[in-house]
């Protein structure tokens, strides 16, 4: 008999249409005139590897799953624990899985629930064996007792009546040969199980030659496909099995055995060599682990669905000396003055990084070699002595792109101020200290960056949620119109960066750039009708212009 003689089309459409469900594909494998192969897998990873290797179906081996879980093949893992493993295997693959359902984990009733759950989890079929629960692996001991035929047929019928996928396959496994009950008993059972509705019969043997399988095949009526497991008679040429009419061969445990050998060898070497050097070139790379896990798909999905997290960069303008600090800035710019053991700029960069701003570009000028922080970009304004902040920012124009924070290099601020700016609405948003207003209205102190806004700071929790807008920004506003002081920190959206870049280019063109401050840049944008938003803060920042500021900085930290 050849396999082609087994004619049991389920719906008559299998040969015409490519089967869509996993169960239909398993059915097609069982009924195909070609010899089919199922390869063992015991977890999501091994299942993926089986599929990648070109196999059309998976054998979810009870022995291998148990071994991978560190337990014996004696129903020590509960059926729901096995189902959890199967779910990972099924999720990880697109080919059908025939699961080794042992004895069905109990009687007909347990079998009903098992089949329902397997259908729910996308498992294509189950194989149950006619032994007693709890089972023992077929290769252990002799003369294992068999289930009563009638009772086992009831289990088959219960399983078939419970499937919710019409193509789900139930394979009935005959242990008569393994248990030493003989050829006739095996055939008697095969007939009974086919009659009860089994979609295929697995006839098992633990002999090292295939004689008893071949004898079985000679007398088998062919009423349903035959599946075999040549673990012991592996020496029999596969072609001989095909010619005998076998439908499907299960390579039952070779991935778990390969894994065991590989893990034992790598453990032995690392343990004896106390080094990874010897094994590194011989094991899968981490890249291979990531590839198998499908990390590239996640990266694609992140791009498609992930929260659009704008990469914000920062430009820190730190070109000036800070002459008011006298001797302290003789050999370094003021941004590198030590404030409690760390240069001011290092503290500023650290605050930016903690706020999620990783790409920081510092515009250097005076004593530029003293700015030697690791992992910052630097650009130089070599004309620092004769130019202002706008020209310094122009030197970093190529970094002024996308979301961008612009900061003076001599300020320190609490991180929540940066957070508020980053979350504030608007293309250009300035942090403005409202508490400075009184001080500055009196005209006291050095020239501050004063602002006049669309509304004053209220201190009111709800009102402060509404943005205020910049009307004017200058060092010399009339005291009564001052609403606060810009602290030297701004956040630009991609459009904001473009606007500022454009304005700087225009200033370079009209010759006003060299002497311009950032206040001039913002003022020109307002004049052009652009909106600049303001977030009011109340203190909690400082700039370091002179030794008094420096003393205050020590208290701030």
Q: Which residues are catalytic?
A: 73
253 touches ligand SPV by CB under 6 A: yes
DSSP designation for 355: T
Least gap, CB of 135 to Mg ion (angstroms): 7
Site for ligand SPV in 95-124 (CB under 6 A): 100
In whole angstroms, give the CA distance from residue 546 to residue 557.
17
Residue placing its CB nearer to Mg ion in the complex, 100 or 167: 100
User: Interface with ligand SPV by CB under 6 A: which range of 59-67, 264-272, 366-374, 383-391?
Assistant: 59-67
Answer for the pair 162, 116: CB distance below 8 angstroms, yes or no: yes
Residue placing its CB nearer to ligand SPV in the complex, 93 or 253: 253
Convert residues 8-47 into a mask of x (bound to ligand SPV by CB under 6 A) and - (unbound).
----------------------------------------
Question: From residue 440, how far is each of 20, 44, 458, 483 by CA, in Å?
Answer: 76, 68, 18, 9
137 touches ligand SPV by CB under 6 A: yes
State phi, psi for 540 to the nearest 5 degrees: 65, 35
Answer for the pair 482, 440: CB distance below 8 angstroms, yes or no: yes
Q: Which residue is nearest to Mg ion (CB)?
A: 62
549 touches Mg ion by CB under 5 A: no
Residue placing its CB nearer to Mg ion in the complex, 139 or 548: 139
- 434-443 long-range contacts, CB within 8 A, separation 24+: 434/483, 434/484, 434/536, 434/537, 434/538, 435/484, 435/538, 435/539, 436/484, 436/485, 437/482, 437/483, 437/484, 437/485, 440/479, 440/482, 440/484, 440/485, 441/479, 441/480, 441/482, 442/479, 443/479
Nearest to 491 by CA among 556, 414, 432: 432
- Total residues binding Mg ion (CB under 5 A): 3
545 touches Mg ion by CB under 5 A: no
Query: In 356-405, where does DSSP find H-type helix?
Result: 389-395
51 touches ligand SPV by CB under 6 A: no
Query: Which of 62, 225, 245, 488 is the binder for ligand SPV (CB under 6 A)?
Result: 62
Least gap, CB of 11 to ligand SPV (angstroms): 30
Least gap, CB of 127 to Mg ion (angstroms): 8
3 state SS of 316:
strand
* Half-sphere exposure (Cβ direction) of 109: Cα atoms closer than 13 Å: 0
493 touches ligand SPV by CB under 6 A: no
Convert residues 326-355 into a mask of x (bound to Mg ion by CB under 5 A) and - (unbound).
------------------------------
User: Interface with Mg ion by CB under 5 A: which range of 57-65, 282-290, 372-380, 472-480?
Assistant: 57-65
In whole angstroms, give the CA distance from residue 39 to residue 55.
7
The option from Mg ion, ligand SPV, none interacting with 252 (CB < 5 to 8 A, set by class) reads ligand SPV
3 state SS of 468:
strand
Nearest to 55 by CA among 41, 43, 67: 41
427 touches ligand SPV by CB under 6 A: no
Query: Which of 32, 36, 61, 452 is the binder for ligand SPV (CB under 6 A)?
Result: 61
User: Residue 543 corresponds to which tokens in the numbers above?
Assistant: 């700039």
Exposed / middle / buried, residue 470 (Cβ in 10 Å: 0-12, 13-18, 19+): buried
Residue placing its CB nearer to Mg ion in the complex, 140 or 299: 140
The option from Mg ion, ligand SPV, none interacting with 138 (CB < 5 to 8 A, set by class) reads ligand SPV
Query: Which of 63, 453, 516, 521 is the binder for ligand SPV (CB under 6 A)?
Result: 63
Binding interface with Mg ion (CB under 5 A) = 62-63, 100
Binding interface with ligand SPV (CB under 6 A) = 61-64, 100, 137-138, 229, 231, 252-253
């Amino acid at each position: 008999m050849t396999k082609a003689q087994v004619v049991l089309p389920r719906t008559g459409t299998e040969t015409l249409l490519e089967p869509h469900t996993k169960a239909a594909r398993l059915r097609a494998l069982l009924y195909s005139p070609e010899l089919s192969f199922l390869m063992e897998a015991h977890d999501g990873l091994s299942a993926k590897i089986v599929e990648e290797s070109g196999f059309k179906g998976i054998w979810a081996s009870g022995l291998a799953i148990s071994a991978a879980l560190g337990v014996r093949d004696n129903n020590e893992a509960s059926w729901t624990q096995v189902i959890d493993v199967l779910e990972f295997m099924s999720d990880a693959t697109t080919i059908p899985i025939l699961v080794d359902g042992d004895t069905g984990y109990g009687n007909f009733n347990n079998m009903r629930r098992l089949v329902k759950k397997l259908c729910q989890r996308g498992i294509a079929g189950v194989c149950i064996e006619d032994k007693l629960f709890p089972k023992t692996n077929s290769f252990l001991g002799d003369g294992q007792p068999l289930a009563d035929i009638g009772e086992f047929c009831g289990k088959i019928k219960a399983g078939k009546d419970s499937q919710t996928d019409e193509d789900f396959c139930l394979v009935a496994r005959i242990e008569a040969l393994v248990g030493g009950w003989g050829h006739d008993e095996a055939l008697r059972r095969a007939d009974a199980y086919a009659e009860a509705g089994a979609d295929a019969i697995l006839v098992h043997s633990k002999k090292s030659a295939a004689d008893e399988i071949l004898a079985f095949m000679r007398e088998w009526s062919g009423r349903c496909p035959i599946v075999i497991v040549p673990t012991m008679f592996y020496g029999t040429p596969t072609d001989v099995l095909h010619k005998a009419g076998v439908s499907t061969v299960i390579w039952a445990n070779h991935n778990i055995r390969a894994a065991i050998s590989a893990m034992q060898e790598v453990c032995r070497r690392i343990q004896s060599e106390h080094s990874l050097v010897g094994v590194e070139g011989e094991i899968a790379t981490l890249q291979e682990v990531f590839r198998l896990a499908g990390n590239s798909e996640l990266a694609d999905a992140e791009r498609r669905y992930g929260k659009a997290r704008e990469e914000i960069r920062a430009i820190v303008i730190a070109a000036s000396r800070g002459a008011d600090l006298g001797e302290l800035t003789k050999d370094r710019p003021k941004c590198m003055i030590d404030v409690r053991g760390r240069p001011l700029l290092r503290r500023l960069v650290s605050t930016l990084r903690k706020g999620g701003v990783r790409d920081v570009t510092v515009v250097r000028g005076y004593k530029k070699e003293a700015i030697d922080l690791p992992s910052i970009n630097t650009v130089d304004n070599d004309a620092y002595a004769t130019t202002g902040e706008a020209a310094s920012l122009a030197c970093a124009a190529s970094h002024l792109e996308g979301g961008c924070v612009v900061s003076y290099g001599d300020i320190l601020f609490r991180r929540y101020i940066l957070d508020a700016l980053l979350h504030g609405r608007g293309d250009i948003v300035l942090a403005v200290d409202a508490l400075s207003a009184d001080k500055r209205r009196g005209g006291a102190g050095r020239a501050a960056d004063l602002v006049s806004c669309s509304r004053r700071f209220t201190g009111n929790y709800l009102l402060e949620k509404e943005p205020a807008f910049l009307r004017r920004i200058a060092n010399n506003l009339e005291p009564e119109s001052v609403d606060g002081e810009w602290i030297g920190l701004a956040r630009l959206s991609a459009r904001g960066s473009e606007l500022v870049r454009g304005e700087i280019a225009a200033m370079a063109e009209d010759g006003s750039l060299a002497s311009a401050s950032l206040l001039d840049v913002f003022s020109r944008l307002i004049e052009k009708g652009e909106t600049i938003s303001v977030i009011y803060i109340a203190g909690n920042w400082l700039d370091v212009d002179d030794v008094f500021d420096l003393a205050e900085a020590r208290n701030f930290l």
